[in-house]
């Protein structure tokens, strides 16, 4: 794979999402089609529903992966004048077992990260110029060879 080839990660909260299995399957099919037409590498990763940046899971391989991705996503959003809110939302979570509250980041049920080499090139979902850009919007643009869903063809 050259640095110019697109590498995509579809990040999902679950492989068996309640009420959205057909939507998830459709996204995966569209990505596989793009993979065959553009020689892009596509990976599907389960990353859960939320992450606690200060908890013990932050020190696991899975926790570090999610936190590293979040750091890259925040940097990309800042550099490209895009917002990750409300999709990557910080909140306090209260444990049903201990009653303690701790900070977490609520993750979207589906996100698409695109890399050229090691650099994050694009992320959905996000908000730009007051408009939400979903994973489906991004796939529409890629299928039409448009660089960005916000740019007119």
What are the pLDDT digits (tens) for 92-109? Answer: 988 888 888 889 999 999
pTM for the complete prediction? 0.86
Query: Can you tell me whether residue 48 is helix, strand or coil?
Result: coil
d(CA 126, CA 73) in angstroms, rounded, equals: 10
Strand partners, 45: 11
Q: Which of 16, 14, 105, 12 is nearest to 57 (CA)?
A: 105
Q: What is the reported pLDDT for 1?
A: 42
d(CA 141, CA 31) in angstroms, rounded, equals: 12
For the chain, which residues make up each domain, given as ranges?
Answer: 6-143
Q: Is the pLDDT of residue 13 over 60?
A: yes
d(CA 136, CA 27) in angstroms, rounded, equals: 7
How much is the mean pLDDT over the chain? 86
The string of pLDDT tens digits covering residues 29-67 is 888 888 777 667 899 999 988 898 887 888 899 899 999
Query: Can you tell me whether residue 102 is helix, strand or coil?
Result: strand
Q: Which of 152, 71, 36 is nearest to 8 (CA)?
A: 36
Q: CA angle at residue 131 from 108 to 77, to 5 degrees? A: 60
Q: What is the reported pLDDT for 4?
A: 67
Sign of the CA dihedral with 127 first, then 130, 136, and 141 last: negative
């Amino acid at each position: 794979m050259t640095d110019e080839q697109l590498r995509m990660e579809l990040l999902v909260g679950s492989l068996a999402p309640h009420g959205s299995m057909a939507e998830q399957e459709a996204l995966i099919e569209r990505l596989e089609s793009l993979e065959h037409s553009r020689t892009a590498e596509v990976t599907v990763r389960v990353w859960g529903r939320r992450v606690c940046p200060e908890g013990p899971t932050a020190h696991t391989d899975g926790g570090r992966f999610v936190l590293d991705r979040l750091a890259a996503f925040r940097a990309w959003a800042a550099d490209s004048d895009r917002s990750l809110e409300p999709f990557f939302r910080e909140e306090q979570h209260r444990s049903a077992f201990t009653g303690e509250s701790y900070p977490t980041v609520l993750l979207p049920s589906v996100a698409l990260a695109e890399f050229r080499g090691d650099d994050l090139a694009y992320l959905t979902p996000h908000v730009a110029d007051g408009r939400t850009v979903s994973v489906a919007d991004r796939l529409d643009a890629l299928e039409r060879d448009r660089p960005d869903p916000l740019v007119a063809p």
